[in-house]
Amino acid sequence: MTFSVVVLAAGKGTRMKSNLPKVLHPIADKPMVQHIIDTVNTLGADNIHLIYGHGGEQLESALSHNHLNWCLQAEQLGTGHAVQQAAPHIKDNEDVLILVGDAPLIKAQTLQQLIDTKKQSDLALLTVELDDPTGMGRIIRDGEHVKAIVEHKDATEAQRQIKEINTGMMIMGGADLKRWLSALKSDNAQGEFYLTDVIEMAAKEGKSIKASHPSSSVEVEGINNRKQLAMIERAYQLENAENLLMEGLYILDPQRFDLRGQISFGVDCRIDVNVIIKGNVVLGNNVTIGPNCILIDCQIGDDSVIEANSIVEQAQLHNGCSVGPYARLRPGAVMHDKSKVGNFVEMKKTTLGKGSKANHLTYLGDTQVGEGANIGAGTITCNYDGVNKSQTIIGDGAFIGSNSALVAPVTIGKMATVGAGSTVSSNVDDHELAVARSKQRNIQGWQRPTKK
């Protein structure tokens, strides 16, 4: 049987104390509800109905790349009322999987198990046992059969001792769901239409109701405040780190690692503490990443080393490269084999040739550097005139003296030398020495300024 999904995402999330709708708060740089949508997409759902309310424009902007049916819940009158907004789009002959938008760690395997449980019953719900179920709806059973769900505020003292709770996730037939939704009433402590009431309705009709369980309670933990958001983030990251460790990536401290995208790697790669991975990062063999580095959409070749506190973004490193510490490779940076950038060096749209070095305090923008060149400390390429960007070309074996400024567009020839402290605005031919600085004058009797 085909199935559709209803995702409840209309809550404002007042306890988040934010102008951002709750379900847009990120886990690993991705909105929590997007995690759920991505998981559902792996199951092959026919439709995804997103129930939204607060911050509709923000939601539509953030989730516009998804194929969703948007269902507005203008007033938040409970979970049953939320699902009622999707009822006109639900087919009688399909199953409907109902999910909450603030439990981003739910696994596809768990949802598939819930779907399979529905095949053996009329209705299946996801439940979990908690040591402290305070505030959660309790599962009322008659032996093996689920008979009802009682919200905490409506539960008796005896019912509050029950540790099996409702996760808010369930699946049932479309025709049954629509019939039960139309019969919901709001005569409860909250004055709301509870989706959980359909369980009691199903039981009274003699429907078979089975429960399925996640492999871990963290899968179904909802997020209602910043503390819970941080806890779920760490749980997500720890699981990522542990999985990568088992796949052979050496992460020195799994508690201090953040994967906010995808990473692939060869053998004997090592990642130190507080490293953040964003986008798609590819590591070759024997790559070492030092502490406090950020890697974004980049490729790092074999035997390369990224020293501490460096940022590598949309850059490509060939084999045996060395970066940092405190280096920044911006988009378009390319380092060929055994090239090196050292501390406080920044590269943007720049290619550093094989074996070339820029060891200290240098900016290379819109620059092509040949093989075996040496860029002295304090060198900058002046690539921007206030309106246009221009290119600097530095030939093979060139030596650029410390504290030089190369004013683009300019070409420094092969084996050419630029004297330290020069400002070069004209081309330098192969093997030439360029010295562009004023003659030194020593003035005697000069009066140093005094504080007024």
Residues with active-site annotation:
360
User: Half-sphere exposure (CA, 13 Å, Cβ side) for 168?
Assistant: 22
Q: Sign (positive/negative) of CA torsion 157, 161, 163, 164? A: negative
138 is in an annotated binding site: no
Q: Which residues contact 76 (CB under 8 A, 6 or more apart)?
A: 10, 11, 12, 53, 54, 82
177 is in an annotated binding site: no
343 is in an annotated binding site: no
183 is in an annotated binding site: no
137 is in an annotated binding site: yes
374 is in an annotated binding site: yes
363 is in an annotated binding site: yes
- Decide: 287 and 300 in contact? Cβ < 8 Å: yes
377 is in an annotated binding site: yes
383 is in an annotated binding site: yes
260 is in an annotated binding site: no
Q: State the Cα–Cα distance between residues 415 and 193, nearest whole angstrom.
A: 80
330 is in an annotated binding site: yes
Among 297, 247, 255, 260, CA closest to 272: 255
73 is in an annotated binding site: yes
Residue 446: Cβ-neighbour burial (10 angstroms; 0-12, 13-18, 19+): exposed
CA distances from 17 to 46, 117, 423 (A): 35, 38, 53
Point out which residues pair with 207 in neighbouring strands.
Answer: none
44 is in an annotated binding site: no
For β-strands 357-365 and 374-375, DSSP reports them as: parallel
388 is in an annotated binding site: no
Q: Which residues contact 15 (CB under 8 A, 6 or more apart)?
A: 224, 225
19 is in an annotated binding site: no
441 is in an annotated binding site: no
Tokens standing for 232? 């779920």
408 is in an annotated binding site: no
372 is in an annotated binding site: no
224 is in an annotated binding site: yes
Binding residues: 8-11, 22, 73, 78-79, 102, 137, 151, 166, 224, 330, 348, 363, 374, 377, 383-384, 402, 420, 437
Binding residues for acetyl-CoA: 377, 383-384, 402, 420, 437
Binding residues for Mg(2+): 102, 224
Binding residues for UDP-N-acetyl-alpha-D-glucosamine: 8-11, 22, 73, 78-79, 137, 151, 166, 224, 330, 348, 363, 374
